[in-house]
Amino acid sequence: MTTTESTTLLDRVTVAPETGRPIPDAATREIIGHAPVHTVTDLDAAVAAARAAQPAWAALGHEERSRILHAIADEIEANAEELAVLLSREQGKPLDGPNARFEVGASAAWVRNAADTAIETEVVFEDGPARSELHYEALGVVGAIGPWNWPMMITVWQIAPALRMGNAVVVKPSEYTPLSVLALASVFNRHLPADVLTVVSGDREVGAAIAAHPGVDKIMFTGSTATGRRIVESSANNLARLTLELGGNDPGIVLPDTDVSAIAENLFWGAFINTGQTCAALKRLYVHESVYDEVVDALAELARVIPMGRGLEEGNVLGPLQNEQQFGIVARLVDDARSRGARVVSGGEPAPELGPLFYRATVVADIEDGAALVDEEQFGPVIPVVKYTDVDDAIARANASSQGLGASVWSNDPEAAVEVARRVQAGTVWINQHGAVNPNVPFGGTKASGYGHEFGVHGLKAVSSPKVISR
């Protein structure tokens, strides 16, 4: 069943202004709805209900849970345009390009993958009649704390595997994008038993309470490294298992004599996907002196011509910063780079004619490590391009960050690129692309970018309790 004009998904999840928190359109700042303001008391009730509902959900077995997940994926697809429009308004990403419609489609695809991925009993020892098997069972209640940049897709990454393995889930969305997650959950709940999936739309106090809650068995968190550290501390109270996908100041290395025309578009989207608001986006680019000027010029030209504007206007593929805080961070980092003598080749300023939080796609050249724009995660439509002469030096610079989520190597020579990739410290290193994820391929960070893996069999195991049966 799809929603009708009189009962839209937004109608279903928004509350009265006097009882809710206003949520603005990211592009225009007009209020599009009011999110519920849940409290720690609401969280306690949601966790208790989830614990009561979980055993029956687990007892359905893999086949029935997978059937239900496929029905949910069908429902997402049936409501895809309405979900995409809400997402575009609340988060800011345009409908077109690798943005809102893409995110909704990916959400359905990841639900199907969670349903279809096989997880087999593993025989870990066998000697005559002696046999030890490793089984994977539901943990109980999973607490999912999501971000504002890809609110639907990342929430699906958290909840679909958890549901498949027989867990109940309590979701805490970002305060910036709660309506998208509430709408997505309402689609899920057309097919799930009561209380198996609940959204608690609260503030940071609620998020902190989930991490420390005695009724929560697993925490999945995507967000900043600083918040991740606090979650680790809070989880000491209940020894909840953790999967943390934290910040990433992802480096890219362009090797000597690379064909720039062949990689320019992939380079651009590696940095500017979702207007740069992606944890695993390309954040700092090291380019060999032999192709440096050509890379800078190619990126700057794309930055000038790629359409930016309000997400509901067809044709735009870059949008605004999602919130005032992030807009301020981006502006500060670019201004600091300019004050250090860096060359702003394109952009470098707000675009107020488009809306309050638009910042032009920006390419910054002639900048070095030590500048805040290189050393900090900008999380916006800006890429600093750093010249190098020695590949070993570029690798050392790439590895100097405390973070290690993703990285990329760019070259005409795949073997040379792989040799460099093996030396770069990151959870994923892409060759001639950056940020591409696959539901079958494990994804996770190293160093201060977190720990634990999502996707595929690894993702199912991460939301399971391993049990050894020996005989």
Active site residues: 245, 279
Provide the 10 A C-beta neighbour count for residue 471.
Answer: 7
Structure-block tokens of residue 299: 């990126």
For every residue of 262-321, DSSP letters joined together read: HHHHHHHHHHHGGGG--TTSEEEEEEETTTHHHHHHHHHHHHHHS-BS-TTSTT--B---
Where does 110-249 show beta strands of DSSP type E?
A: 122-127, 130-138, 141-145, 168-172, 197-199, 218-222, 241-245
Bridge partner residues of 105 (DSSP): none
CB 206: neighbour CB atoms within 10 A?
22
CA atoms within 13 A on the CB side of 161: 31
**Nearest CA among 40, 35, 42, 45 for reference residue 15:** 35
Answer yes or no: are the C-beta atoms of 202 and 172 closer than 8 Å. yes
Residue type, 350: P
DSSP secondary structure, 6-50, as one string: TB-HHHHH---TTTEEEEE-TTT--EEEEEE---HHHHHHHHHHH
Measured on CA atoms in the order 158, 160, 163, 169, is the torsion positive or negative? positive
Strands 218-222, 141-145: pairing kind: parallel
Q: What CA–CA distance (Å, rounded) separates 239 from 452?
A: 15
Residues 6+ positions from 90 with CB-CB distance below 8 Å: 23, 25, 26, 32, 151, 176, 177, 179, 180
> What stretch of H or E contains 116?
helix 100-116
List phi, psi (to 5°) of 200.
-110, 105
418: amino acid identity, one letter: V
| Helix/strand/coil for 233 | helix
Q: Which amino acid is at 327?
A: F
The amino acid sitting at 199 is V
Q: Which amino acid is at 382?
A: V
Two tokens at 102?
A: 């893409």
CA angle 311/177/281 to nearest 5° reads: 70
